[in-house]
Amino acid sequence: MHLPHSLHIKSTYFDYPLYPFRPPHELTGRTAPHPVVIVGAGPVGLIVAMELGRRGIRTVLLEAIETVSPGSRATCVSRRSMEIMLQNQCDEPFVSKALMWTEGSSFYRDQMVYRLRMPHSADERYFPMANIQQCVYEKFLVDRVEQIDHVDLRWQSKVVGLTEGKDTVTLRIDTPEGEYDLSARYVVAADGARSIVRELLGLRLAGESHSGRYLIADIRMASSYPTERRAWFDPPSNPGNTILMHKQPDDIWRIDYQLATDQDSDYELQDDRVRARIKAHLDWIGETAPWQLEWTSLYKAHCLCLDDYRYGRILFAGDAAHLVPIFGVRGMNSGIADANNLGWKLAYVLQGLAPDSLLDSYTPERRAATLDIFDNARKSTLFMTPPTRGYQLTRDAVLQLAIDEDSMKPLINPRQSTPYDYVASPLTTAQREPFERGPRAGAPLINIRLKSGQGKHEHLLDHLGPDFNLLWFGESPAEFRIDVSSTLEGVRVKPILITRLAARSTQGLCVIHDHDGRLYSSFDATAGCAYLIRPDGHVCARWRSWDEAHLAQALRRALTR
């Protein structure tokens, strides 16, 4: 009998909801296999459910505990993740609550040695980064999922067994009222770093673990300091080590401090010890307001992943598939990108619009993204937590030189998360013609601001449909003579005309008036040019000149048909 014991999590700013267990039909008798069962209702599992739900696919979403994840955990959300939330209509509560930021400061002792400035302009809908506690963010996602009829969210339901059949996977579920079997055509394992699904299959993550440890703590403190990333190397408050500090909503501050190699984790996690160390740092940076300790945890950097994110009918996403260092905020953001990638592919396979082989593209696309993260995160981790005397000495030399020498400063760049381009993906059509600007084939679409209407800003992504989209740069709707609905049987393509002339949308053709030519310029477009966009918002082909055959070929490639 599974009885979760995370009840009564205390917080100074967040009331943890308690979600009841509701006995499902399977407890009293067998039911037909479900299309998809998702294990784990964290951000990744919730977004997979939304991606499938908005395409009409029913899912069962299982969560072992009875509330959202405790603590602030993955607190930085990237612009790309916000765009994925927008596509799933769950960005509004997030945007109104989260703290947006673009900049950061890195200090060596008391000297600023690097100023982080992430690319941002007034044309963007979202800031490059937003801080919000994961528990708050997850609650928003749960609220949204509860509005979707297609998602059967089952709390207090723990996977304890797994059997693979030819056409289905059967999970054994333990609940407060006993066990039952649950079958599905596909299972998405989004059950986190300690994935039970991974364990039941006997799969192991491979890679390297770094030696540096961080104690991460949330405190509640009123401070007017702006929202930005602050990093200190070798501050008097943590000699020889580093400290990171982030502002979160509701006066919550996240402080991550590196533990020295000889410091005992259990001793350092004691409340009195944590308070003393935080006080030393706050005193040193001049924060004088009273504060309360909210939450603590311990963190170690890993670069670990599965060899394959697909195991038959089971697909791994987020921390269940890969563990990445926190430096650069890639953990949850890469998990959300997994969900975005997997959602449409599963939907297309289940709707019969693509063969099962489309799911084989999930690993090459998302594991390549993980390996790219490892490359960046390894550099960040070696700089943040030098593992040897050689790295420590070289890092300290760079930091001292950077006080006077600008040429050294790029080495201090924390390499914040950026979206991964599926340029080498088997789903991407190679470009035949040169483009000087615009998202290349494989890259996510850029969300450019369009002309304002009655004080309301619109952006390009607002016009995209949930399936394929074709951005066609032309003059008038009358010139668009291709019947995209018949290009590839059953496959929905939304044509969007981008024109510099005023024109109205017609039935079957959405029109965007590029009144100042910014879209043409940003996409390096010439008349007749087209961009084909995948359902997850990545460009899968772009042409200066094209016809129906090119479109059909690109769609077949994108769907492995």
Partner 1 sequence: MLTTEALERIFDDIALSIDTVGDRNESLFLTKLALALANQLSDEMLVRAQVALARRHLQA
**Contact residues: partner 1, CB under 8 A:** 111, 379, 382, 386, 388-391, 393-395, 398, 400-401, 403-405, 407-408, 410-411, 413
* β-pair partners for 463: none
Q: How far is the CB of 367 from partner 1 (least distance, A)?
A: 23
Going by C-alpha positions, the residue among 222, 314, 198, 246 that lies closest to residue 101 is 246
Whose Cβ is closer to partner 1: residue 318's or residue 386's? 386
Q: How far is the CB of 442 from partner 1 (least distance, A)?
A: 21
Inter-CA distances, 154 with 65, 383, 417, Å? 10, 43, 32
Residues 224, 245: Cα–Cα separation, whole Å: 14
Whose Cβ is closer to partner 1: residue 208's or residue 405's? 405
Whose Cβ is closer to partner 1: residue 407's or residue 452's? 407
Q: How far is the CB of 412 from partner 1 (least distance, A)?
A: 11
Whose Cβ is closer to partner 1: residue 367's or residue 378's? 378
Residues 459, 450: Cα–Cα separation, whole Å: 5
Going by C-alpha positions, the residue among 215, 169, 172 that lies closest to residue 188 is 169
Instruction: Please give the single-letter amino acid code of residue 58.
Output: R
Whose Cβ is closer to partner 1: residue 133's or residue 380's? 380
Whose Cβ is closer to partner 1: residue 161's or residue 410's? 410
Q: How far is the CB of 381 from partner 1 (least distance, A)?
A: 13
- The H-assigned helical ranges of 210-270 are 265-268
Whose Cβ is closer to partner 1: residue 403's or residue 501's? 403
Residues 320, 199: Cα–Cα separation, whole Å: 10
Task: Please enumerate in sequence order all residues whose Cβ is within 8 A of that of 405, keeping only pairs 6 or more positions apart, or say none.
Answer: none
Inter-CA distances, 57 with 36, 90, 349, 535, 541, Å? 8, 18, 11, 15, 27
Going by C-alpha positions, the residue among 62, 19, 234 that lies closest to residue 159 is 62
Q: How far is the CB of 411 from partner 1 (least distance, A)?
A: 6
Q: How far is the CB of 330 from partner 1 (least distance, A)?
A: 18
Q: In the structure encoding, which two tokens stand for residue 266, read together? A: 């259990």
Residues 86, 464: Cα–Cα separation, whole Å: 11
Whose Cβ is closer to partner 1: residue 113's or residue 448's? 113
Instruction: Return the sign of the alpha-carbon dihedral for residues 132, 36, 304, 366.
Output: negative
Residues 209, 367: Cα–Cα separation, whole Å: 18
Q: Are 229 and 235 in contact (CB under 8 A)?
A: no
Q: How far is the CB of 3 from partner 1 (least distance, A)?
A: 50
Q: How far is the CB of 398 from partner 1 (least distance, A)?
A: 7
Name the DSSP class of 260.
P
Q: How far is the CB of 375 from partner 1 (least distance, A)?
A: 10
SS (H, E, C) 142-210: HHHHCCCCCEEEECCCEEEEEEECCCCEEEEEEECCEEEEEEEEEEEECCCCCCHHHHHCCCCCEEEEE
Whose Cβ is closer to partner 1: residue 379's or residue 550's? 379
Whose Cβ is closer to partner 1: residue 184's or residue 382's? 382
Whose Cβ is closer to partner 1: residue 168's or residue 394's? 394
DSSP line for 403-414: TT-GGGGGGG--
Q: How far is the CB of 403 from partner 1 (least distance, A)?
A: 6
Strand, helix or coil for residue 304: strand
Residues 394, 138: Cα–Cα separation, whole Å: 40
Q: How far is the CB of 421 from partner 1 (least distance, A)?
A: 18
Going by C-alpha positions, the residue among 398, 112, 373 that lies closest to residue 228 is 112
Going by C-alpha positions, the residue among 220, 32, 248 that lies closest to residue 129 is 248
Going by C-alpha positions, the residue among 15, 14, 5 that lies closest to residue 65 is 5
Strand, helix or coil for residue 215: strand
Inter-CA distances, 558 with 314, 341, 441, 467, 539, Å? 21, 12, 11, 12, 10
Q: How far is the CB of 230 from partner 1 (least distance, A)?
A: 20
Q: How far is the CB of 394 from partner 1 (least distance, A)?
A: 4
Q: In the structure encoding, which two tokens stand for residue 353, read together? A: 């619009």
Whose Cβ is closer to partner 1: residue 398's or residue 496's? 398
Residue with tokens 């049987």: 489
Task: Please enumerate in sequence order all residues whose Cβ is within 8 A of that of 361, keeping only pairs 6 or more positions apart, or say none.
Answer: 345, 425, 426, 427, 560
Whose Cβ is closer to partner 1: residue 78's or residue 376's? 376
CA 315 to chain centre: 17
Q: How far is the CB of 204 from partner 1 (least distance, A)?
A: 28
Whose Cβ is closer to partner 1: residue 123's or residue 396's? 396
